[in-house]
Amino acid sequence: MGKEIKLALVYRDMWQSSGKYVPRVDQLCRVAQPIIDIGCFTRVETNGGGFEQVNLLFGENPNIAVRKWTQPFNDAGIQTQMLERGLNGIRMSPVPADVRQLMFKVKKKQGTDISRSFDGLNNPQNLANSFKFAKEGGMIAQAALSLTYSPLHTVDYYIQLADSYIDLGAEEICLKDMAGIGRPVSIGKIIAGIRQRHPNITIQYHGHSTPGFSVASSLEAARNGADIIDCGMEPLSWGTGHADLLTIHAMLVDAGFSVPEINMDAYMEVRSLSQEFMDDFLGLYINPKNRYMNSLLIGPGLPGGMMGSLMADLENNLKSLNKWLTKNGKENLTQEELLIKLFNEVKYVWPKLGYPPLVTPFSQYVKNLSLMNVIQMVKGRERWSMIDENTWGMILGKSGKLLGPVDPVILQMAKDQGREFFEGVPQDLYPNELDLYRSKMKEKSWDFGEDDEELLEYAMHPQQYETFKSGEAKAKFLADIEKRKLDKLSSSQSDIAQHLPKEMEVDLNGEKYKVSISYPEQSSNASSEVASKTSNNTADQEDFDFITAPLEGKFFLTKDNTDKAIKVGDKINAGDTVAYIEAMKVINAISADKSGTVVEILVQHGQDIEEDDQIIKIA
């Protein structure tokens, strides 16, 4: 009997790597027992990462979801694991230390056994608290090495990084191959090196299948000392997700490893239920292209977990860009043309930003900056003309030191804009906030929840939590589902119409006639949405100037609680930051391109705006 290899199902990541949402709590509870009945999983990834933000977005309490979803696995003796983003906790931006500490206590009490903690820059400094707080809360502290492929990210680099994490208290090691671009032989060498130095530590391999290496990488991982292999399941395996359980299982058996048998009836039930959830509403948020592997991603190395949202973002950006191109008499781009431009720009931008591993949130920063560069250059503007605030934070060292040097052009831009580099401990930039949120909840008469779980949720995701509590999130989500269903119906009707015959030959008593066929026009109700939005561009422009939106997104007067908003009567100078736009999960500063006095703020805090909308009137 060969060495035993354990298998883990990454059910949370399967959905996140495919689209925007995860199943509702009632759906998760339905699929839990069939997953258990498959009989071969010793671990299931149940929550963490974007899971709870997604719950809030569709109006569901994530604390109830986590407790109900993990309970069946707890009862069956299957370990549950979550994904934790180090300094960023389970959101996209840094989290105060007291909120991070509470998170681990709450998640353990909700039924999560293992915290897979990673830092986007592989900065041990940012994960020390993760390991400490996880163990204090009763969880297993697993450290993830964010794999990427560059001249700086060598086999020796990763072996030494594992040493650092273990010295800081990590109890397990995971090779997190988030883009699936780790070369199989190199992955084997990394695991062999770690195993030689730490013979008793548990090693887990997590590899996305996007560019096609994952099956070979899983085999190399097992051969060189990995204990656990992550895998996915149809209908959400492969593509931007993970290799399918059946393939990994058959490969390991053939290689002589000992793996538990698969209950195929249960496998098919999970497969069927997952498809049912997609047919219900989740499929409306899954781009079909995310179901395919793409070797073009070997170059840019963008991660599978981000590709789900990337394609949705790209659709919106393409519409906006083509609107501008049409207005300026230029030829429109296809989505594929924009995607290739983006991939090429990522390859150009990434080294100039110091080779940050392309994992959340830094993969989003590199991708967003690359996309902004592409859009600006298509419009005839200069590269680097829009660098969002989150990316600046990374460049300036506010998340830790980058492995490689930043391009001199960007360093000069930082100097010209008066931006200061930070060399301290990143956590020190984010003071404790639990008392602030306790007082806010008391003012609103909100319950702190069992084990302070509602307090944690509010402090972790303040804006999303408030929108959830008001009921606005659920209303928006349901409206969006209906719109997407209508759009899908309209698209399918259009496709059918395109294939209907326009003429046919009719034989009448031996005489042949060519007959043209016309069809009644389809109702426009299903194919278009009537907007009765009064444009703020019709304002009297004779006596005033206007600051306009540089891109579409959500408008904010401030980027956080410490920021001071501009108001009517304020004097502003060209170059001043006057507001912010949240787009593609990052905050972009809006700079005044002219000086004057604020006469009117034309849009509301939190309002959706389009590129070139007038947002501030000045005199």
Query: Rounded to an integer, what distance in angstroms lies between the CA atom of residue 377 and that of residue 487?
Result: 31
The C-alpha atoms of residue 109 and residue 112 are separated, in whole angstroms, by 7
Which are the contacts of 109, defined by CB distance < 8 A and separation ≥ 6?
A: 450, 451, 453
Q: Which amino acid is at 354?
A: G
pLDDT number for residue 538: 44
In which residue ranges of the chain is pLDDT below 50? 519-541
Task: Give the pLDDT confidence score for residue 169 in this predicted structure.
Answer: 97
pTM score, whole prediction: 0.81
Q: Which tokens is 515 given?
A: 């007959």
Residue 95 CB burial class (10 angstroms; 0-12, 13-18, ≥19): buried
Q: For the chain, which domains are there?
A: 1-460 (3.20.20.70), 536-618 (2.40.50.100)
Query: Which tokens belong to 539?
Result: 């304002």
In the three-class reduction of DSSP (H, G, I as helix; E, B as strand; rest coil), residue 97 is classed as helix
pLDDT value of position 500? 58
Compute the C-alpha angle 133/134/139, nearest 5°: 150
> What's the confidence (pLDDT) of residue 565?
86
Q: Residue 359: what pLDDT?
A: 84
- What is the predicted pLDDT for the residue at 93? 86
| Alpha carbon distance 130, 118 (integer Å) | 9
CA nearest 618: which of 561, 563, 560, 579?
579
Query: Tell me: the pLDDT tens digits for 498-524?
Result: 655 666 565 555 666 565 555 444 433
The reported pLDDT for the residue numbered 535 is: 43
d(CA 589, CA 582): 9
pLDDT value of position 419: 93
**Phi, psi angle pair for 400, to nearest 5°:** 120, 175
